[in-house]
Chain A
């Protein structure tokens, strides 16, 4: 059997149901049972969704296996010319980004001066953030500089982040801020 990375044993299953073993034949004795038991394949009947590794910039392609919408496995996409199915330890751990009891799942709010968080409603928090953005924008907006130059901006709000997120996020983020006149928009590319 000719084995190469591209055509063998990566994606498609071929039934392996043989019983004899090569290694011990020389001794004339076989210790092996007729067929070994194995746990059922975790990705049997799983749905496969193409994805991309969210860590570094190499852009390794992944395949996400889900059963009833629950992630059961994530591994490299062997078709990818970047990674040909391989991954680094971070890429191999993408599963734990998702299936992790430490994940934050609630909206938290800390009042000025308070010593602790409070769990709050998502909609309430969104309303409050919008209110604060409007308030700060209105208080600090500069239409013209003292020298008369039209600038239509505020330097008092900072929008940070984007290099770990989609291009679609970045478009919406910068359009939102620039639309409002906020220019201090930055992400990890700066550092």
Chain B
């Protein structure tokens, strides 16, 4: 669901196809009958944007099914490995009580200093919390902050430990998570799914039965999704809903199970881990923010540290990160330079920044290897870019972003005069993959090194060269400044030039290995002593490590594990632990403790992955020389728990981090070591997934009075460049989804210039059903005009039965779809489909709603 895997990840799809030959069943739930549907055992049509209703229907079906209630495996997994038994604050009110919203809904007021958050509302999550017993004795957090306690920061972390959560393992308590979710999803019946999603009831039930049949001790099912689950005003909840279902089915942390994100770019996982994203700093720590209690280092630690999970180590991650930023200048006395580190003012995400740019609040932009001129609400984006004082584009081709000022549609049609655009613009040519060294992190979190094979032509330089050489210029420009605001930059550690004797691959090129060394981390006193893993990190400045999650990828000066290419031999389960390196700790299946039962035995022989070997004789502890009792976690993968921590180990009463968890709590990044069916913290739009309509929809929400998510984001509200259609607006009666083709790549810069790819898909098209074509008098290959409240585009019609009419909420709704790869540059050109999309998005992650909105279609 939410992915057209054969189309967009064809080589990854090799493996589902192999599984199919071995008897696995493939199900594709999608608004279109696609290349994936073509080879699936079952295709189920679904209206774009209604996936939570479908998944919620599956949850409701599963927990009332005979199989789920009869096979003890499911209860054993759910009671022990999820928070099903945990009791929630009795003041919590569900969407069932409040007509589609949760307790705690409040208004959101934009702060004057950065009014670009776009939130339509906000929740106070106080009532969503676990019901807890009294907190233990010990120092109080605010006193420790006030007296600048630590390092070490263990007392601060310990002071954060809450009282024990109340539980009912019988799952009968009316406020326990299981009863709440059972009640919450009770109206997601197969009939309701059919009404909301347009999916035939019998096909929906078939999906539910196939999933039930293929889940349990001996079998697992996996979900694969992509941006068709992220680009919504409730995208995070959609994915969470799938995780909830998979936890109920015992399909998390086990081989052949899980919820698999199929990401779009070679390095998109890497660029999230090593975050060129405003909201986080290395390793998924939240960026220090003016909107949160992050005033000082200790405030940040108190606000961000989860004391009873592996995140209890956050002070070690943070201090080691700050050491990597500010080097020797970061000391315990100055809180490791924390005050120099910038704080965000709120939402500085892609859309928020373009919305601010459109109002003249953003003056300069450096765009490297991205093409926003054809991205969401393209015409608004180009309008914003015309307000820039200066812009830099660095790419391999003259992209639409580089040329919008003289070739953009608004310039070509005369609405905008080139001379009126005051932006100073630069274009720098880039290298291609074969022309430099470095690593990509793939969708499996695996780092893989690539090596330079040939020289780049002309002035092409690596993108790393570009920032490295700008940094050197700015270091020089600010050298000697005594201004307080320049001290952070002047103290930034910048040591990426190759060591003496190492020849740069281009003049002035930094050493990619040196950059990876800093990411991996080293002993501060001796950078040649690399860190072997994040267990070595310290919170006193003695370790320097940019990214705790990448720590271990380069465990010794001469061991770049990302460059390994040793596959497993045939005939073994094939974790391929010597191929590349996957974070964390080279683990291939996360939370794999869940692949064994409470006692540490595999759930079944067939689904063996890691297990407890009680007879294993451990060597004495190398540091203390003490005897280590028998027993070790063994298996095919790197176990995701303490290697010698017995399954029956109890939590240490005074423990923080992993010591606060027992040996039977697989979800070690969660504060209670359990998979969360109900999410008490971390989401801004509710603890349980709820079906809402997309911001633009032809129908009313059949489930609740609340039409769309009460807290989602709408940027630039009321602006002429971000107009929105009302619910059921007859001017825009059709549901449209945008998508990708195998033959092209995203915004097209890497495919539309390639003759071999361009000839395979030479022009933009719209896929529309035969019924709609008949109604509108459109024949195959006719030019068609597609209109949304933001603009219109022209495309050729591809009339097909692979997409068509659906019966939704008693109405016949036509569904159309368009690939969005095109723009005006390259060999294969076409209109910018994103000129149709809007600036609305998800409140948790600010991703736009590109997968479900409304339009009109007319013959040109």
Q: Which residues of A contact B (CB under 8 A)?
A: 6, 47, 49-61, 64, 66, 69-71, 74, 77, 79-84, 86-94, 96-98, 100, 102-113, 115-117, 122, 125-134, 136, 139-141, 143, 145-146, 149-153, 155-176, 178-191
Closest to A84 in B: B14
What's the least CB distance linking A124 to chain B, in Å? 10
- Assess whether B372 is interfacial by the CB under 8 Å rule: yes
Indicate whether B135 reaches chain A with its CB closer than 8 angstroms: no
**Chain A residues with CB below 8 A from B550, complex form:** 167
What string of 1s and 0s marks CB contacts (under 8 Å) between B567-579 and chain A? 1101000101001
Query: Which 3 A/B pairs are nearest by Cβ-Cβ distance?
Result: A105-B458, A59-B442, A166-B438
Given contacts A155-B345, A167-B447, 17 further A-B contacts (CB under 8 A): A50-B449, A58-B442, A97-B433, A97-B754, A109-B426, A113-B420, A151-B342, A151-B345, A157-B363, A166-B267, A169-B464, A172-B471, A175-B325, A183-B344, A183-B348, A190-B277, A190-B846
A171–B746 CB distance below 8 A:
no
Q: How far is the CA of A180 from the CA of B477 in the complex (A)?
A: 12
Please give, as numbers and ranges, the residues of chain A lying within 8 Å of B455 by CB-CB distance.
Answer: 69
Smallest Cβ-Cβ distance to B397: which chain A residue: A104
- Asked if B370 contacts A187 (CB within 8 A), the reply is yes
Contact of B368 among A93, A146, A151, A165 (CB under 8 A): A165
The reply to whether B345 and A130 contact each other, CB–CB distance below 8 Å, is no
Instruction: Give complex CA distance A125, B398 in Å.
Output: 17
Q: Are B433 and A52 in contact (CB under 8 A)?
A: yes
Against A, the Cβ 8 Å flags (1 = close, 0 = not) of B539-574 are 000000011001000000000000101111010001
What CA separation (Å) do A174 and B281 show in the bound complex?
Answer: 9
Task: Report which residue of A115, A116, A150, A162 has the largest number of chain B beta carbons within 10 angstroms of its beta carbon.
Answer: A162
A61, A136, A172, most chain B CB atoms within 10 A:
A172
Contact of B453 among A57, A71, A106 (CB under 8 A): A71
A and B contact pairs by CB, cutoff 8 A, 29 listed: A50-B449, A50-B565, A54-B440, A70-B454, A71-B453, A77-B565, A130-B470, A130-B473, A149-B343, A152-B340, A160-B350, A161-B276, A165-B438, A166-B440, A167-B519, A169-B462, A173-B368, A175-B546, A178-B341, A179-B494, A182-B342, A183-B342, A185-B276, A186-B348, A187-B268, A187-B271, A190-B349, A190-B847, A191-B231
Is A165 a contact of B369 with CB atoms below 8 Å? Answer: yes
Partner of A105, one of B290, B453, B457: B457
A167 to chain B: which residues have CB within 8 Å? 267, 270-271, 273-274, 438-441, 447, 516, 519, 550
Q: A186 contacts B276, CB within 8 Å?
A: yes
Q: Is B484 an interface residue (CB 8 A)?
A: yes
Assess whether A105 is in contact with B460, with CB atoms less than 8 Å apart.
Answer: yes
Contact A93 to B754, CB < 8 A, known contacts A57-B262, A184-B362: yes
A171 to B270, CA, bound (A): 9
Give complex CA distance A61, B579 in Å. Answer: 11
From the candidates A83, A130, A150, name the one contacting B339 in the complex (CB within 8 A). Answer: A150
Q: Is the CB of A155 within 8 A of B743?
A: no
Asked whether B518 is an interface residue with its Cβ less than 8 Å from the other chain, the reply is yes
The reply to whether B457 and A191 form a contact with Cβ atoms under 8 Å apart is no
What B residues does A159 contact at CB under 8 A?
276, 365-366, 368
Chain B residues lying within 8 Å of A117, measured Cβ to Cβ, are: 427
Q: A82-B11, A167-B270 are in contact. Are A102 and B397 (CB under 8 A)?
A: yes
Name the contact of A149 in the complex, choosing from B290, B467, B488 (C-beta under 8 A): B290
B113 lies within 8 A of A146 (CB): yes
Interface assignment of B375: CB less than 8 Å from any CB of chain A? yes
* Residue B512, interface by CB 8 Å: yes
Stretch with Cβ within 8 A of A (4 or more), from B198-206, B388-396, B687-695:
B388-396
Residues in A neighbouring B441, C-beta threshold 8 A? 167
Given the known A-B contacts A52-B433, A89-B757, A189-B272, are A168 and B438 also in contact in the complex, defined by CB atoms under 8 Å?
yes
Given contacts A158-B366, A169-B467, A174-B275, whether A164 and B345 have CB atoms under 8 Å apart is no
Task: Kindly list chain A residues whose C-beta atoms are within 8 Å of the C-beta of B478.
Answer: 134
A88 CB to closest chain B CB (Å) equals: 4
Q: A103 and B429: CB pair below 8 A? A: yes
B395 neighbours in A (Cβ, 8 Å): 104
Q: Are A153 and B343 in contact (CB under 8 A)?
A: yes
